[in-house]
Amino acid sequence: MQPSRRKHLFTGALLAAMAVAAQAQPAPGAAPAPNGRHDPARMAERVNKHLADLKQKLQLTPTQEPAWTSFSNAMQPAAGAPRPDRQALANLSTPDRLDQMRALRNQRNAEMDRRADATKAFYAQLSAEQKKTFDAETARLFQGRGGHGGRHHG
């Protein structure tokens, strides 16, 4: 086979493979996975279940209850925090898109800071044995997930 013809066949096969792969991708703005991963109600349900399990394992004293309440309230998913509209972002100019992405990052960082502060305040109220339990339970959330709690960005 001539090198030029081989090159054209290879290019055609590559383009066909890319077209098949593109067809297999979900459409932009497609509904979230049916497992409810991005459903706020299901997320809150999962958080509350984890918190209830943790509270039971910690065996808190009555004097620790106010700290627990503050901690568990801070761990609730942010209400009304919509996911960014990919199409709207795509329609922005690059500088505007970068500014919007920075604003979203700043919101997420502020939420993380609020949760970290609440966790540290609660942790300070725990006994040495409770701290061991807390450390083991929270470390378990990251095992086998690449340290990201199973979240997929993209």
Cα–Cα distance measured from residue 81 to residue 112, given in angstroms and rounded to the nearest whole number? 13
Cβ proximity of 122 and 68 under 8 Å: yes
Cα–Cα distance measured from residue 117 to residue 9, given in angstroms and rounded to the nearest whole number? 60
Q: pLDDT (tens digit, 9 = 90+) per residue, 118-140?
A: 999 999 999 999 999 999 998 88
Whole-structure pTM value: 0.64
What pLDDT score does 62 carry? 96
From 28, 35, 121, select the one nearest 73 (Cα to Cα).
121
Retrieve residue 108's tokens: 């997420």
Cβ proximity of 86 and 28 under 8 Å: yes
Domains of the chain by residue range = 86-125
What pLDDT score does 73 carry? 92
Cβ of 83: how many Cβ atoms within 10 Å?
Answer: 9
Q: pLDDT (tens digit, 9 = 90+) per residue, 10-31?
A: 455 444 444 444 444 444 444 4
Cα–Cα distance measured from residue 17 to residue 10, given in angstroms and rounded to the nearest whole number? 11
Cα–Cα distance measured from residue 78 to residue 112, given in angstroms and rounded to the nearest whole number? 10
Where the chain has pLDDT below 50, the residues are 10, 13-32, 36, 147, 149-150, 152-154
Cα–Cα distance measured from residue 67 to residue 69, given in angstroms and rounded to the nearest whole number? 5
Cα–Cα distance measured from residue 103 to residue 109, given in angstroms and rounded to the nearest whole number? 10
Retrieve residue 48's tokens: 């509350």
